Structure 1
Amino acid sequence: MFSTIVPFIRHDYWVFRVFEYPRLQKLVLNIILFLGTLLMAFPKDVPGYVVLIGLAINLIYLCYLVFPYTPLAKKQIITTKSPSGPSNLKILIANVYQENRQSHQYYKLIEQCDPDVILLVETNLWWQNQMEAIEQKYPYQLKAPLENTYGMVLYSRLPLSGEVKFLVEQDIPSIEAEVILPIGQPVKLYCLHPQPPVPQENPRSTERDKEILMIAKEAKNCQLPVIVMGDLNDVAWSYTTDLFGKISGLLDPRRGRGFFNSFNAKYFFLRFPLDHIFCSGDFSLKSINRLSSCGSDHYPMCVNLEYAPQAEKKNEIPVATQEERALAEQKINTPTDQL
């Protein structure tokens, strides 16, 4: 129960934020404790009943939080059943794990997925050189290879233009680009990989939250269809990601379909949805798939979207309250030298 209460403390220090991640794990543990108490240690006094009631309340609350990411919930973005065509944009995102050397596995993955756009993160010069093998098929590229595990490269077989930016920290890049669909429609792409709030990386979530919310504001004001993608180092249900959705008005294909936990590929009991693709309401979803890990600690994600302006009337567009907009502005306007 303690781990469920801690995330209510809106503090940026990692000790408070890390408990947002294991929601499903907390639910499974709560079910085991609740059933174990009922079957093996049924309460016989007031303190025992207090514990049992507390476990029941915690279980109900966790089920409420998990429900939107189950197939039983309403889908935030509608499904299209039409065959893929010139209005579709298939995207592959993958955190390759910088020290991983199984680049040949990614060639097979790309051939299998056959995406229009590929975003690879944790890419250094070695990975950039290895990926030269796909450049003939994906002639449009934006590259920011780095040795600090925050490099990224973007490949496209569709016309692509844009730039690498450093929004919050001088060594943490992002990419802002426009890709042109075969029907002639430009789509704005934002690619992110901010630092996670963990002691060995950054003890606070301040910088990560600021970068995510800056992009949320830009996406909201953009006149083009928008897609935000990357390893956000934040779970789909966290307070920050929820705020991102409301500020940006972008949709999460996971909602109503499943968790699609992308990290950690090496430990089945510690998996969270960290790799994301969000889109504006003028898209419908053809498919979303978690692919094989290819030696990384992340599973790649492949999402096939269809540009369909009529879908905006059917999609569940999130909306921010005035209080939430004010909070986002406060986080965005935090001076960098105070971070």
Structure 2
Amino acid sequence: MSTSLLGWLRTGALYLVALLGTVSVAATLLSLPANTPEWWLKLLDFPRVQTLLVALGCLVLLPLLARRWHWGTWALALGLGSAAGLQASIVLPYSPLVPLAVAQATPAQATHRAATLRLFEANVLQSNRHAADLLRLVRQQNPDVVLLEETNAWWAHAVDSLGQAYPYHMLCPLPDTYGMLLYSKYPLSDTVRRFLQHPNVPSFYANVQLPSGQRFYLCAVHPVPPVPSEHPYNKHEREAELVKVGRLLQAQTQGPGLPTLVVGDLNDVAWAHTTRLFESQANLHSVRVGRGLYATFDAKIPLLRWPLDHVFVSSQFRVVELKRLAYFGSDHFPLYCELALE
């Protein structure tokens, strides 16, 4: 290969690195407003890990490709370093590099089966027809509580057999992708179905009693994403359901109330302003912090994945196991979490 051709390739690669680097720096700067009303800026919250990797990659390649450094090269390097640092500070808590927000269960707690809860959560994708694959995963994991989102009448019929092993349930199938089905082996009491933000977007609330006799408060949610939509119509308004749930749970978690568990597809990432505000208001903790990303969406596009399905718990819980389960045809991976209650 001729020297001139190598020079052209090197120059082309440098321009590509400069372009990608500039985009990553701009995306980082535009994503900084914590509570912006602009939905298109809000979307920049999602690919923070991808933006971090692009910034780091460009930062490594820049000195290898740039023959002469001038003010533009130095400015780009400084911007890339700052962008990488900012993005890392935001996503680092969702890695094993920081202390656990929810402690790991001791061997004694993990083996005290009467005081543990196995939780299975999945957004099934309403148009998905692989119900048999989902039921196979449920049988393999043998959870105590199953929460399914995006369930319409077809899905309610397809998983109706769960009622044999899970005699306690809250069912709200809907045709607009916000239906929910909750199945439990353990008794549910004081069950409530609320529509906090939209008339066709439910959230579930119930007390759950473990075989040990201990009880906890369960909340299942699936708010709409922070983008304009027609079903439900949410244009020109902030998506506030999760904040309202946080306010409802304040008295439950800050007073002498029951231990609390919140689970669901939040349609938002773990590090989003709304998600962190909810954690603070409700005095709950994400089981991800200190453990890993556990990106559950998009199951079909490996390069565009982020953590949208969540489990939050109060201080009385300990984590036995947390894992992302296998693909079953949905755009979400299922999330499995086993918890021990002190």
Q: CA deviation at 1:7?
A: 2.4
Quote the residue 2:104 is aligned against. Answer: 79
For 1:86, what is the secondary structure of its paired residue?
helix
Quote the residue 2:49 is aligned against. Answer: 24
Aligned residues: CA RMSD:
1.5
Q: CA deviation at 1:199?
A: 3.9
Distance 1:304 1:206, change over 3 A: farther
Paired amino acid for 1:66: V
Equivalent in 6, 11, 14 of residue 39 of structure 2? 14
Distance 1:93 1:110, change over 3 A: same
- C-alpha distance in structure 1 between counterparts of 2:62 and 2:340, whole Å: 49
Quote the residue 1:242 is aligned against. Answer: 276
Does 1:300 pair with 2:325?
no
Q: Indicate if the aligned counterparts of 1:17 and 1:205 stay in contact, CA closer than 8 A.
A: no
For 2:292, what is the secondary structure of its paired residue?
coil
1:137-152 matched pairs, under 5 angstroms: 137-152=165-180
Q: Percent identity?
A: 36
- C-alpha distance in structure 1 between counterparts of 2:228 and 2:281, whole Å: 28
Q: Which of these two proteins has the greater Rg computed from alpha carbons?
A: 2
Equivalent in 212, 232, 252 of residue 242 of structure 2? 212
Paired amino acid for 1:305: L
1:164-183 matched pairs, under 5 angstroms: 164-183=193-212
Query: TM-score under structure 1 normalisation?
Result: 0.87
Quote the residue 2:251 is aligned against. Answer: 221
Does 1:190 pair with 2:215?
no
Q: Indicate if the aligned counterparts of 1:76 and 1:256 stay in contact, CA closer than 8 A.
A: yes
Gaps of at least 5 residues in structure 2 are: 1-24
- C-alpha distance in structure 1 between counterparts of 2:135 and 2:290, whole Å: 31
Q: Indicate if the aligned counterparts of 1:37 and 1:52 stay in contact, CA closer than 8 A.
A: yes
- C-alpha distance in structure 1 between counterparts of 2:327 and 2:177, whole Å: 17
**How many pairs align?**
307
Does 1:282 pair with 2:316?
yes
Q: CA deviation at 1:205?
A: 8.9
Paired amino acid for 1:3: A
For 2:198, what is the secondary structure of its paired residue?
coil
Q: CA deviation at 1:84?
A: 4.5
For 2:72, what is the secondary structure of its paired residue?
helix
Quote the residue 1:258 is aligned against. Answer: 292
Query: TM-score under structure 2 normalisation?
Result: 0.86
Q: Indicate if the aligned counterparts of 2:37 and 2:238 stay in contact, CA closer than 8 A.
A: no
Quote the residue 1:314 is aligned against. Answer: none
Quote the residue 1:329 is aligned against. Answer: none
Distance 1:11 1:120, change over 3 A: same
Paired amino acid for 2:131: S
Quote the residue 1:291 is aligned against. Answer: 325
Quote the residue 2:143 is aligned against. Answer: 115
Distance 1:121 1:138, change over 3 A: same
Q: Indicate if the aligned counterparts of 1:195 and 1:207 stay in contact, CA closer than 8 A.
A: no
Gaps of at least 5 residues in structure 1 are: 309-339
Distance 1:136 1:128, change over 3 A: same
Quote the residue 1:4 is aligned against. Answer: 28
Post-superposition Cα deviations, 1:104-146, rounded to whole Å, max 9, x if no partner, equal 1111111111111110000001111111111110010111100
- C-alpha distance in structure 2 between counterparts of 1:229 and 1:164, whole Å: 15
- C-alpha distance in structure 2 between counterparts of 1:43 and 1:160, whole Å: 69
Q: CA deviation at 1:87?
A: 0.9
Q: CA deviation at 1:42?
A: 5.3
- C-alpha distance in structure 1 between counterparts of 2:193 and 2:139, whole Å: 26
Paired amino acid for 1:160: L
Q: Indicate if the aligned counterparts of 1:12 and 1:204 stay in contact, CA closer than 8 A.
A: no
Does 1:232 pair with 2:266?
yes
Q: CA deviation at 1:22?
A: 0.5
Q: CA deviation at 1:206?
A: 4.6
Q: Indicate if the aligned counterparts of 2:197 and 2:241 stay in contact, CA closer than 8 A.
A: yes
Q: CA deviation at 1:179?
A: 0.9
Does 1:67 pair with 2:92?
yes
Paired amino acid for 1:2: A
- C-alpha distance in structure 2 between counterparts of 1:204 and 1:65, whole Å: 28
Q: Indicate if the aligned counterparts of 1:262 and 1:301 stay in contact, CA closer than 8 A.
A: yes
For 1:172, what is the secondary structure of its paired residue?
coil
- C-alpha distance in structure 1 between counterparts of 2:30 and 2:69, whole Å: 29
Q: CA deviation at 1:38?
A: 1.5
- C-alpha distance in structure 1 between counterparts of 2:74 and 2:68, whole Å: 5
- C-alpha distance in structure 2 between counterparts of 1:45 and 1:5, whole Å: 23
